[in-house]
């Protein structure tokens, strides 16, 4: 997983960059293959805004979050991206054929 962090009207310090990367590391558990995340941190007075675009297997997912503090906005963004990726992963399951023991790997 590759994370790019950019700032608009705000300087992205190494502490902010590390915080973004540590929060978004949990997204890698959803998919085995690597994907790219592009984050943009900006200041919309009086709120701070964090946006992210995830490029995964031909799809592009986008989320944004606003909060009083930049760290809180990053937390909200990580939660939204987690839900988006779980929803995308559920859509990949073939719903017409249903779950089978062979596909889930739970057969004995």
Q: Exposure of 24 by Cβ count < 10 A (0-12 exposed, 13-18 middle, 19+ buried)? A: buried
Of the two residues 87 and 92, the one the predictor is more confident about is 87
pTM of the model: 0.80
DSSP symbols for 33-61: S--EEEEEEEEETTEEEEEEEEEETTEEE
Q: Tell me which residue range forms the domain holding 15.
A: 2-104
Tell me the pLDDT band of 100, cut-offs 50, 70 and 90. low
Tell me the pLDDT band of 95, cut-offs 50, 70 and 90. low
User: At 29, which CATH number?
Assistant: 3.30.160.100
Number of compact structural domains in the chain: 1
Sheet holding 47-56, edge to edge: 2-8, 36-44, 47-56, 59-67
């Amino acid at each position: 997983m590759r994370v790019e962090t950019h700032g608009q009207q705000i300087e992205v310090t190494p502490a902010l960059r590390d915080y973004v990367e540590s929060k978004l590391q949990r997204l890698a558990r959803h998919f085995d293959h690597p994907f790219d995340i592009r984050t943009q941190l900006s200041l919309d007075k009086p709120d701070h805004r964090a946006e992210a675009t995830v490029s995964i297997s031909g799809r592009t997912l986008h989320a944004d979050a606003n909060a009083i503090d930049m760290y809180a906005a990053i937390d909200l963004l990580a939660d939204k991206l987690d839900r988006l990726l779980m929803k995308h992963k559920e859509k990949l399951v073939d719903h017409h054929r249903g779950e089978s023991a062979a596909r889930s790997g739970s057969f004995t």
